[in-house]
Chain A
């Protein structure tokens, strides 16, 4: 007789057998997590602690000096910090919203509307999951230039809207929406637009949240556009500005603190958004398989 009974994933209670798992996982979680905690601590260190010898991991006298210096540094530059913040917020908002609308509409079509070529279109997108943007940054630049988008907001918006992973996850999720619901709506005389807005969108909220996070991460930290497509300083983004702070001035004394504050400011929105939406992300990922 088989003594082993088979076990369940996702146990409800802690059992002794799980201790082994903790012994394996906890060291790796610590190694992964410490640098992240470090980013948090470092941003609030006063000057003495930033340059303490031996270096200190934990901040004992937290201060907002680094953030103050960050604002001061931006005041002496030609462009006020608020302009970069405004650019980043505008670009991020427009990209995330339009990407979600465009990708979910497309995912609905690929999943529920029968038209010639839809399988091929989905296959092409699936191939593009393997798209490594850095590999083609040069031709991407040439495209942006050909369309006359250099030095416009459009160059920071349009290239970032199509994200193959987002479309893929949305389509896989919308596949789960029962066809009967949609057919019943047709019977009531609903149009496709109506079905999309009233049935598909509300039912695929987890996937929409996931797509939003993935697009947000791409846009918020994007340097490619500001670095290569934009010469006009007043159109560049916060990510770009933060990067210049960490590059050129990080060797100066106040530069270190400013860089630490900058990296926290860039990282935090990602973390907060993910914490809020993590349940939706896991729900979406359950349907992420490539068949």
Chain B
């Protein structure tokens, strides 16, 4: 692409190889290596050891993984099924929902779109304290709780339900909260992608026989914004797993009857309550693998084929 003919050798050389690149990228990648890469590598290393934080780690081979699969009843009976259910509904469901909402907003005029987008995004800013306080009050277990009071008014229930200690309701509640806060960065990315579509694509598609908005969405819109769809998918997966922590904020760890115990809570339980760091690390590795699998699937769906 470069048509300029540079007279100064220095400039031409700089567009071939530029050492300054190392200087500019070093600060970020040093911190990245120490606080992101090293912990991941250490998690993998620790997962093959027995480590209680006081004595030095002892190598135990695959024992932690074997125990996880063969003798961790809580993991197999509750944590894994809960996590799969949560990931499917909040991850996949939330993703579809954010696409549909972004699409609807993109077809509205600017002012309502901006207001709606802000409201839909706002739960993503409600992390930690605000989130826990809000939902604790909503789901208060006696008749002063908002949900109980409304349901009793409507005559759906006669007696207040103790939501947060009831094993039947806790996981659905965590899933609802997960969905509520799933219009995050990915949602904004899809919305921006939709708003920057090439109009001529649509005219061409209409001539080629696209008959309605739905067909248009499937055959024109989605294929033309695959990169945004992929970015959004990755953000959705990570967000879903990260938000899983809400269960311990609402109901303590372990959650009553392990009813809403997700992998994230399981790691917390073994790492910071029982101090079985080696085992917790093995569970972390499993979580990282699950996230990888999900993102590989999204890459299959939305990745642009590269020349490799």
A contact residues, range: 35 or more
B295 interface residue per 8 A CB criterion: yes
If A260-B133, A278-B114 touch, whether A6 touches B17 (CB-CB below 8 Å) is no
Nearest CB in chain A: distance from B9 CB, A: 12
Residue pair A250, B136 in contact (C-beta under 8 Å) = yes
With A108-B24, A138-B277, A282-B192 as contacts: A266 and B129 at CB distance below 8 Å: yes
- The contact string, 1 if C-beta is below 8 Å from chain A, for chain B 279-307, is 01100100110011001000000001000
Q: Contacts A106-B28, A115-B21, A136-B39 known; A263 to B133 CB distance under 8 Å?
A: yes
Q: Are A130 and B234 in contact (CB under 8 A)?
A: yes
CA distance A23 to B10 in the complex (A): 62
Provide the residues of chain B in CB contact with A51, threshold 8 Å.
144
Q: Is B172's CB within 8 Å of the partner chain A?
A: no
Quote the shortest CB–CB distance from A245 to chain B (angstroms).
Answer: 8
Residues in B neighbouring A18, C-beta threshold 8 A: 107-109
In the complex, what distance in Å separates the CA atom of A13 from the CA atom of B18?
Answer: 50
Complex CA–CA separation, A103 to B298 (angstroms): 26
Known contacts A113-B24, A288-B227, then 14 further A-B pairs from the complex at CB < 8 Å, ordered by chain A residue: A10-B106, A18-B108, A35-B135, A39-B130, A39-B134, A121-B29, A136-B284, A143-B35, A147-B34, A246-B132, A259-B133, A263-B129, A275-B118, A288-B228
Q: A134-B264, A183-B4, A289-B228 are in contact. Are A21 and B128 (CB under 8 A)?
A: no
Q: Do B149 and A55 have beta carbons less than 8 Å apart?
A: yes
Most buried by A among B22, B136, B216: B22
Q: Is the CB of B211 within 8 A of A4?
A: yes
What residues on B are CB-neighbors of A246 within 8 Å? 129, 132-133, 136
Please classify how large the interface on chain B is, using the bins under 10, 10 to 19, 20 to 34, 35 or more.
35 or more
A267 touches B126 (CB 8 A): yes
A139 at the interface (CB under 8 A from B): yes
Cα-based distance from A3 to B211 in the complex (angstroms): 7
A residues near B10, Cβ cutoff 8 Å: 186
Does the CB pair B281–A138 fall under 8 Å?
yes
How many angstroms from the CA of A235 to the CA of B193 in the assembled complex? 42
Are A139 and B129 within 8 A (Cβ)? no
Interface contact A35-B138, CB-CB below 8 Å: yes
> Which residue of A7, A114, A267 contacts B15 across the interface (Cβ within 8 Å)?
A114
Q: Is A77 engaged at the interface, CB distance under 8 Å to the other chain?
A: no
Partner of B120, one of A10, A28, A262, A264: A28
In the bound complex, CA of A133 to CA of B36 (Å): 8
Asked whether A158 is an interface residue with its Cβ less than 8 Å from the other chain, the reply is yes
Give the chain A neighbours of B222 by CB distance below 8 A: none
B4 — which chain A residues lie within 8 A by C-beta?
180, 183
Q: A105-B28, A115-B17, A143-B42 are in contact. Are A36 and B123 (CB under 8 A)?
A: yes
Does A42 lie within 8 Å of B36, measured CB to CB? Answer: no
A6 touches B35 (CB 8 A): no
Question: Hey, what's the 0/1 contact readout for B13-47 against A, CB within 8 Å counting as 1?
Answer: 01111111111110111011011111110110010
Closest residue to A14 on the B side, CB-wise?
A: B109
Contact mask for chain A residues 35-51; partner B; CB cutoff 8 A; 1 contact, 0 none: 11011001000000001
Contact B245 A32 (CB under 8 A): no
Q: Cβ of B11 < 8 Å from any Cβ of A?
A: yes
Give residues of chain B (84-141) contacting chain A, Cβ–Cβ below 8 Å: 97, 100-101, 104-110, 112, 114, 116-123, 125-130, 132-138
Minimal beta-carbon separation of B50 from chain A (angstroms): 14
Verify if B69 is at the interface (C-beta below 8 Å from A). no
* Given A246-B133, A290-B227, CB of A132 within 8 Å of CB of B192: no
Nearest chain-A residue to B188 (Cβ)?
A: A285
Q: Is B185 an interface residue (CB 8 A)?
A: yes
Q: Tell whether A35 pairs with B209 under 8 Å between CB atoms, given A25-B101, A106-B25, A187-B6.
A: no
| B114→A135 contact, CB < 8 A | no
- Do residues A136 and B43 form an inter-chain contact, with CB atoms below 8 A? yes
Asked if B271 CB lies within 8 Å of chain A CBs, one says yes
Complex Cα distance, B96 from A28, in Å, reads 14
Interface residue ranges of B187-221 to A (CB < 8 Å): 188-189, 191-197, 199, 202-203, 205-207, 209-213, 216
